[in-house]
Amino acid sequence: MAGCECSSDEEGSGASGAGASSGTESGSPQGSTGAFTTSNGTGQGTGTGGGTCGSNLTGTIRDFQASHPDFEDFLGIDPGIVLPDLGPDNKPVYAGQAGNDTTTGQANFDQWFRDVSGVNQSAPFTLTLTPSGGGVFTFDDSDFFPVDDQLFGNEGNPHNYHFTYELHTTFLYSGGETFSFTGDDDLFTFVNRKLAIDLGGVHGAMSDTIDLDARAAELGITPGNVYQLDFFFAERHTTESNFRVDTTLVFIDCGEPPQ
């Protein structure tokens, strides 16, 4: 799917997640409006679930071959693969192999979310969130194979099972928002550069929810401000791939498609 041609706009409107706490089943939720502050100054937000991005967030798929040392050979829940703070290059920082039984070292892990010639191939992929009631926007795919027969291809399998997905966006925190994920395999979600969901490892579908109000002090967030959300997913093993996002966040930009 093509990415949207847009950028963050501190005075405009734009949200790809939910708007306020109420919405309509067939259209965008009622807008969440109000002043907000970023590192560049202050502005007026009008997140409507539409705006520049509609309900689309674009990130980067990276396809790997099954022969990569971190793919296909391991099974097991493996939290703690990454450090609790996002790196200065907006990538997860490998915590070291000790205790991380489903990885094979920093050099191989650092390839998961970086373009490396001969190791992976990348393409844009857009999540389209749809209203699911109560101000929640959802993307749900229990057969999540977005690059079947593309990039390195299926390698003789029914699907292309070995890939990662990286997404960077920002959201307006008004108070009361949540972000939930269900899926397999690894998922690392950072809010304001702090690790908020860690579902590391090669496993069946697992779930976690960020209640932003409950974790505001831990994440260093206060209502009326715009913060980063950085999302890193890996599908590392046959034969299933589940991917579900449910959120009431008001996104300010569309994500970052590959350059």
- Residue 14: pLDDT band (50, 70, 90) is very low
* Length of the chain counted residue by residue: 259
Q: Tell me the pLDDT band of 259, cut-offs 50, 70 and 90.
A: low
pLDDT of the residue at 8: 31
- Whether 48 shows a pLDDT value over 90: the answer reads no
| pLDDT tier for residue 18 given thresholds of 50, 70 and 90 | very low
pLDDT score of 101: 95
Task: With beta carbons less than 8 A apart as the criterion, state whether 58 and 256 touch.
Answer: yes
Structure tokens at 129: 């969130």
**pLDDT at position 255:** 85
| Closest to 134 in 3D by CA, of 171, 100, 98, 176 | 176
Element (H, E) at 123: strand 120-128
Q: What is the pLDDT of residues 186-212, one digit of tens each?
A: 999 999 999 999 999 999 999 999 999
Q: How far apart are CA 111 and CA 116, in angstroms?
A: 6
Helix (H, G, I), strand (E, B) or coil at 217: helix
- What separation in angstroms does the CA of 44 have from each of 122, 205, 222? 35, 39, 16
Q: Which whole-number Å values give the CA distances from 222 to 187, 196, 227, in the listed order?
A: 25, 16, 10
pLDDT by residue (tens digit) across 64-122?
999 999 999 999 999 999 999 999 999 999 999 898 999 999 999 999 999 999 999 99
CA distance 107 to 105: 6
Q: Determine contact, residues 160/154, Cβ cutoff 8 Å.
A: yes
- Does residue 250 contact residue 172 with C-beta atoms inside 8 Å? yes
Task: Write the CA distances from 60 to 96, 168, 220, 257, integer angstroms.
Answer: 25, 9, 27, 6
Beta bridge partners of 226: 172
Least confident of 37-41, 74-78, 184-188, 214-218: 37-41
Q: Is it the case that residue 126 has pLDDT exceeding 90? A: yes
pTM of the full structure: 0.82
